[in-house]
Amino acid sequence: MLKPSYVMRVLGGMSLSKYKEVLDRTQQFSGMSRSAITKDMVRSAIKFGAGYFDYLTFGFWDLTDEQRDTYLTRFRNKKLITHFNDDTYGVIFDDKEVFNTLFKDFIKRDFINFQRASKEEVKAFVDKHKVIFCKPVEGACGKGCMRKDIADYESFDALYDELGREESWLIEEVLQQHPDNAKVYPNAINCLRIITVVDKKGEPHVIFATQKYGLNGRVVDNYGFGTRVDLETGKICSPGVSGDGSMGIVYDEHPMTHVKLVGYQVPMFKEACELAKAASKVVPQVRYVGWDIAITPDGPAVVEGNNYCAHDFWQLPAQTPEKTGILPVFEAIEPDLKVR
C-alpha cells in the first residue's frame, strides 16, 4: 500500500484537463457519480497503486478488491522495473544504434547512423536497399519514423538533403513482412510484443504476447491496436483493443482488410518466443523486457526491446475476461517480489 502523502503529491502534479477527461469517460462507462469516482480513484491509488488512467483503462469500477489486487498498476510497475532492471544499462535500449549493435545477431537487418556516416556511405546504403526506414536515434513509440523510397526522389542528393534537415537518423534496411501478417495489414511491419522475465537462475520466461496491427495507412503499428495471443497455440485469443485502451474501441476484425482476428494463427510464433528468450539473456542486468518482434518470410527478427515496458495494454478488459491482472505471474516467477 502506498503512503497517502505520496499519492497526494502525484495527484497534485497531474494535468487537471486530462483528469477531467478521464473522469468524464469513467462516468460514461460506469454510470457512477463524479464524487463517487473520485473517492474510489483515490482509494485505488492508495491501496493498489493505480493511477487515474489505470482506473479507467482496467475498468476498476467493475472489479472487486481481490481482483484489483492482481493488477500491475502504474506505481507497482515502477517498483517492478526497479526490482528487475538496473537503470544504468538503460542506454542500451534507449539508443537505437547501441541496441542494434549489441543485438546485431537478432535484428537481421543492415543499419547506418546518418550523422556518423559519410555521404558516400549513406549513398552506398541507399543504392543497396533502395527503400529505407528512418528512425530518430533516441525516439520512442514510433514517433518520427519514416519509410523512404529513392524512386520518389529526383536524385540521391534530394533525399540526402531532406534527411539532413531533420533529426539524428538511424537508417535501416526495410524488413520484409511474412505474407500472413501482410494479409491483415500490409502498410507496416506488424510486430509481436513478447514480454519476457528472467528469473534469478537465469532462466527466461515468456509471460504474455500481443500481436499488434497498424491502422489508417501508417507505416508503424504504433497507435493501431493489439490482440492477445495464446502462448500455447500461437493463435489470437481476444479481440483487438485500441492502442489507447481507455477509449474502449474493440475490433473483431481489421477495419481495413476485414480479416477476422480471434482464432487467427500468428506465423512462426514459437520461433518468435524462442528468439525473445535468447535475446533476454544478452543483458543479464535487465530481466524484464517487452520485445517487439517482426515476422519475416525467413523467420522472426527483433525490432527493439523496451526496458521500461508499458503495463496497461496487456491487462485490458477485452483481453482479460477472467478479470485477473498479470501480477500473480510475476510473483510465481519471483516469490520474494514485493510491489503490492
Residue with cell 531532406: 162
The answer to whether 318 touches 246, Cβ cutoff 8 Å, is: no
Distance of CA 205 to the CA centre of its chain: 18
Helix axes of 16-30 and 34-48: crossing angle, nearest 10 degrees: 110
Grid cell locating 97: 544504434
Higher pLDDT, 258 or 141: 258
d(CA 110, CA 174) in angstroms, rounded, equals 9
pLDDT at 92 > cutoff 60: yes
For position 2, what pLDDT does the model report?
53
pLDDT (0 to 100) of residue 246: 60
- Categorize the per-residue pLDDT at 147 as very low, low, confident or very high, splitting at 50, 70 and 90: confident
The pLDDT of residue 16: 80
What is the 3-state secondary structure of the chain? CCCHHHHHHHHHCCCHHHHHHHHHHHHHHHCCCHHHHHHHHHHHHHHHCCCHHHHHHCCHHHCCHHHHCCCCCHHHHHHHHHHHECHHHCHHHHCHHHHHHHCHHHHCCCEEECCCCCHHHHHHHHHHHCEEEEEECCCCCCCCCEEEEHHHCCCHHHHHHHHHCCCCEEEEECCCCCHHHHHHCCCCCCCEEEEEEECCCCCEEEEEEEEEECCCCCCCCCCCEEEEECCCCCEECCCEEECCHHHCCEECECCCCCCECCCCECCCHHHHHHHHHHHCCCCCCECEEEEEEEEECCEEEEEEEECCCCCCCCCCHHHCCCCCCCHHHHHHHCCCCCCC
Residue 245's pLDDT is 60
- Please tell me if the domain spanning 84-94+177-333 has the same topology as the one spanning 110-173: no
| Mean pLDDT value across residues 148-162 | 92
Instruction: Give the pLDDT band (50/70/90) at residue 304.
Output: very high
* Residue-wise pLDDT tens digits, 198-210: 999 999 999 999 9
Each residue's pLDDT tens digit, 172-203: 999 999 999 999 999 999 999 999 999 999 99
Task: Assign 211 a pLDDT band (cuts: 50, 70, 90).
Answer: very high
The predicted structure's pLDDT at residue 244: 65
The pLDDT value given to residue 3:
55
User: For residue 1, what pLDDT is reported?
Assistant: 55
Domain at 110-173, CATH from 2.40.33.10, 1.10.10.10, 3.90.245.10, 3.30.1490.20: 3.30.1490.20
Query: What's the mean pLDDT when you consider all of the chain?
Result: 90
Q: Do residues 307 and 70 make contact, with C-beta atoms less than 8 angstroms apart? A: no
Phi, psi of 252 (to 5 degrees): -85, -20
Which amino acid is residue 60, in one-letter code?
A: F
Indicate the domain borders of the chain: 4-63, 84-94+177-333, 110-173
Distance of CA 120 to the CA centre of its chain: 35
Give the separation between CA 156 and CA 137, rounded to whole angstroms: 22
With cut-offs at 50, 70 and 90, classify the pLDDT of residue 165: confident
Q: What is the CATH number that goes with domain 84-94+177-333?
A: 3.30.470.20
Position 169 scores a pLDDT of 84
Distance CA 52, CA 20 (A): 10
Q: Which pLDDT tens digit goes with each residue over 54-87?
A: 999 999 999 999 999 999 999 999 999 999 999 9
Q: How far apart are CA 273 and CA 295, in angstroms?
A: 11
